[in-house]
Structure 1
Amino acid sequence: MCMEFVNLPLLAVSGLVFVSVLVGLFSARIGFSFLLVFLFAGILAGEDGPGGVRFDDYRLSFWVGNLALAVILLDGGLRTAFATFRTGLRPASLLASVGVVVCAGITAVAGVVFVGLDWPTAFLLGAIVGSTDAAAVFALLTRSGVVLNERVAATLEIESGVNDPMAVYLTLAFIAVIGAYGAQDAPWATVAWSFLQQFGWGAVVGVAGGWAMALLLPRLVSRDAGGGVLALLVGAGGLAIFAAAGLLGGSGFLAVYLFGLILANRAVDAVAPILIVMDGYAWLAQAGMFLLLGLLVTPSTMLDYTVPGLAVAATLILVARPLAVWMCLWPFRFTRNETWYIAWVGLRGAVPIVLALFPLMAGTPQAAELFNIAFLVVVASLLLQGSTIGWMARRLGVAIPEASDEQEHRAVFRDFELASSTPIGAVCEFYSLPAPDAADA
């Protein structure tokens, strides 16, 4: 009997995760976003669902959300090659800065018109929902079953990995404006310094930590350390970098992404064995985060916000994001279809919900209203955009065609060496090329 307080919650949580993952895997086959499955599972287990679990611990949700996002960004950084990073860095950087500001501004107009917010609160709403979400982008691009051309894929992944600092900065800035200072007396010099700190310390700590781990990890591989142990070491190192950057006033999100990026490209052979394990960590982080955020939501309190929330979501998806993308990508000569696709895959996931916890913890007026609207925006984005990623890629022609059954597609990543003694026939067979005639050889 004394173990029931352990066994019953453990059975409930593990059963919920098991069923959610199982349903999510099947739902992905029909184009339904599996992240929504986790979110809805949390709602069903919550106060208004059959589970009846009352949960309103915003601080715990905020802590778990940040921890999960750090793991997901670390995994994303570990899977990004330098060549890909260079390909998408300039357009992604513009989208992650100017694009977020444009989205926030246009969404603020929708907040004033459809929700009736005052301008500072409306801009806070725009900041909360203004950035794309790494968890949603990394996961759904992988699960969509399509392979995008390199420039489009790189731009989307890097944007989602580096735009969180801007969203966090804008959110904190407008909380300060609404809070102790007021709109006219806001400490803009302090706000500007915070912006420099977010990006500066985040970049410095992330790059330095990545270089240090890249020197250490290969030495541990040579001592026969297993992939599971090394993955645990890298995960702990990434979380330490995330926390250190935050303590210095920098962006932990940016730091942990750069940590993974530098490590993966400076210690290629050492990182390869841990990627499968890190994928499991990322899945666990996504499942736990969306389940917990689902528990936090009370659907009965959201009915009054359904119409204005969906109006804000429609403005963001159909107006703000496309306009921001066209403005930012115009100098880089993306094709029209590539630009439209990048505009469409402006996925909102857990990040807006986590950012919406900031005003709740700060006691900002109308914080509950902002949280409910942000949640509706996320649901609308995952339903509409997340479920059509593969279809839209094929429709716009930005997906690389799949290899035919007769000719297997072989992808070779990173550098490799070809021995001079390798028969030319073996090389041709590997690349599915016709072998030259003996006379030509």
Structure 2
Amino acid sequence: MLHPVELILALLAVTVVLGLVARRLGIAEPILLVIGGLVLGLQPWAPGVMVDPQIVFLLFLPPLLYAAAFRTPWPEFRDQIRPIMLLAIGLVLFTMVVVAAAAHYFVGMSWPTAFVLGAIVSPPDAVAAVAVTQRLRVPRLITTILEGESLVNDASALVALRFAVAAVVTGAFSLVEAGTEFAIVSAGGIAIGIAGGWFVVWLHGWLDRKKLSDTKIVITITLLTPFSVYLTAEHLHLSGVLAAVSAGFWVGNRCERVFSEELYEEARAVWEWMEFLLNGLIFILVGFALRQIIDQASGARSPADVLVAAAVVSGAAIVARLVWIFPGAYVPRWIDHQVGIPTPYPPWRGVVIVGWTGMRGVVSLAAALALPLATSQGHPFPDRDIIQVLTFAVIFATLVGQGLTLPLLIRGLGVSDEPDVASDALEPPPDDPAV
């Protein structure tokens, strides 16, 4: 039995090796890390690795979301706010309904538990989206929309999940209450993040003016920022996800005012190293988690039934995005034209790429593992084990299946070879008078 420290060091070593192999093969690292973790985790000699959802939400999620937002220029995000919100809120809710219907009619789940599953697998993962697309020649505009979607959709999905779980546990649900809480939780989380980001920028400036600025201190402050705003928001029952994201936007778009070029480069190097370690660990743990899930779900259903259910739910999650993406891209422009705003229609190739880039990841896994064990009446949480199995199936199908075929799709459409054409894939340029 490995000591926890030895296990972490071993996983880091595996992460480095698989990362090098992925680069050699030209495959996005998360894909090979998940496959590697899955293969290693199923070996009889492999140590049992328990994925604690609280560790995922507290240790991995805040810095990775913060870093992704830090790198995203706010003007680009703002210019694409409509397609981002249509995906991050509208598509999340639509996917939840489609997956719930598939789970209810084809898998035999009750409506409440089916909606729990739908909420869990509805959001594409920010970490997965960034890790997969950054190695591809995807036009910057498409990357902005995909990263922006995945930065925001966790909040809407987690609020939807909270009410779906409450409906199972207590038997009560209120649409008005859910909508009100979503607005409060989101606005409050954004406010906490902006306040924290403002304070960090001010603190850096103050330290510099007082000649107290030191590289080690400044970098430590930047590392503490996402955890501070996330924990503050969660303590106040607000969205820690949006707090980390908004703080990342605020600091990332103002750091050049207070950071020297040398300090900025050193801080960026530290963050890139930290992202590499956290990304590697989290995706290899996703692969290892299957053994834990199988052990918990053994005997719940026959293997054949589980495979059919996995295919149905994974297919529903993928198809829901493809069904939504074209009306979501074209109907708002059609409405613009009806009211006299000549917004250009997006080329279909960019829309297809966005529709196929729906990789799920660690947030879905952590949400599934965090489901309560029992209802308020003391009964076991219905279908908890099969929900976890199906969640892993969706993660594997989207991350590995779509992740491996996405480069082929991009090359087949010719988008990566025509950056000037593809840069208008979903929206007109920011200086277009129609915006």
- TM-score class, shorter-chain normalisation, is 0.7 to 0.9
Match of 2:283 among 283, 290, 298: 290
Residue number in structure 2 paired with 1:152: 142
Q: 2: distance between equivalents of 1:225 and 1:328? A: 48
Residue number in structure 2 paired with 1:338: 350
* CA deviations over 1:57-110 (Å, ceiling 9, x no partner): x6x333234421111101101101122212322210111011111111111122
* CA deviations over 1:193-247 (Å, ceiling 9, x no partner): 3212221111111112112212222444574856554332112111110111112
Q: 1: distance between equivalents of 2:239 and 2:311? A: 30
Q: 1: distance between equivalents of 2:213 and 2:409? A: 43
Alignment CA distance shift 1:66-1:134 (3 Å): farther
Q: CA deviation at 1:15?
A: 2.7
Q: 2: distance between equivalents of 1:157 and 1:254? A: 14
Q: CA deviation at 1:167?
A: 0.5
For structure 1, the residue ranges without an aligned partner over 5 or more in a row are 404-441
Residue number in structure 2 paired with 1:22: 17
1:385 is paired with a residue of what secondary structure? helix
Amino acid at match of 1:283: F
Q: CA deviation at 1:308?
A: 1.3
Equivalenced residue count is: 389
TM score, norm. by length of structure 1? 0.81
Alignment CA distance shift 1:232-1:8 (3 Å): same
Q: 1: distance between equivalents of 2:234 and 2:216? A: 27
Match of 1:265 among 250, 253, 258: 253
2:371 is paired with a residue of what secondary structure? helix
Q: 2: distance between equivalents of 1:260 and 1:401? A: 31
* Identical pairs, percent: 27
Match of 2:401 among 384, 390, 393: 384
Residue number in structure 2 paired with 1:197: 184
Q: Give yes or no for contact 2:31–2:403 (8 Å, CA) kept in 1.
A: no
Q: 1: distance between equivalents of 2:407 and 2:186? A: 33
1:143 is paired with a residue of what secondary structure? coil
TM score, norm. by length of structure 2? 0.82
Amino acid at match of 1:53: P
Kindly report which structure 2 residues correspond to 1:208-357, keeping only aligned pairs within 5 A, or say none.
Answer: 208-220=195-207, 223=211, 225=213, 227=215, 229-268=217-256, 270=259, 272-273=264-265, 274-298=267-291, 299=294, 301=297, 303=303, 305-317=306-318, 319-330=319-330, 331-332=332-333, 333-357=345-369
Q: 1: distance between equivalents of 2:361 and 2:48? A: 23
For structure 2, the residue ranges without an aligned partner over 5 or more in a row are 334-344, 375-379, 421-435
Larger radius of gyration: 1
Alignment CA distance shift 1:61-1:39 (3 Å): farther
Q: Give yes or no for contact 1:69–1:285 (8 Å, CA) kept in 2.
A: no
2:186 is paired with a residue of what secondary structure? helix
Matched, 1:54 2:48: yes
Q: 1: distance between equivalents of 2:215 and 2:76? A: 25
Q: 2: distance between equivalents of 1:21 and 1:224? A: 37
Q: Give yes or no for contact 1:44–1:51 (8 Å, CA) kept in 2.
A: no
2:404 is paired with a residue of what secondary structure? helix
Match of 1:83 among 72, 75, 78: 75
* CA deviations over 1:382-434 (Å, ceiling 9, x no partner): 1111123333223223336589xxxxxxxxxxxxxxxxxxxxxxxxxxxxxxx
Amino acid at match of 2:120: I
Q: 2: distance between equivalents of 1:82 and 1:194? A: 26
Alignment CA distance shift 1:234-1:387 (3 Å): same
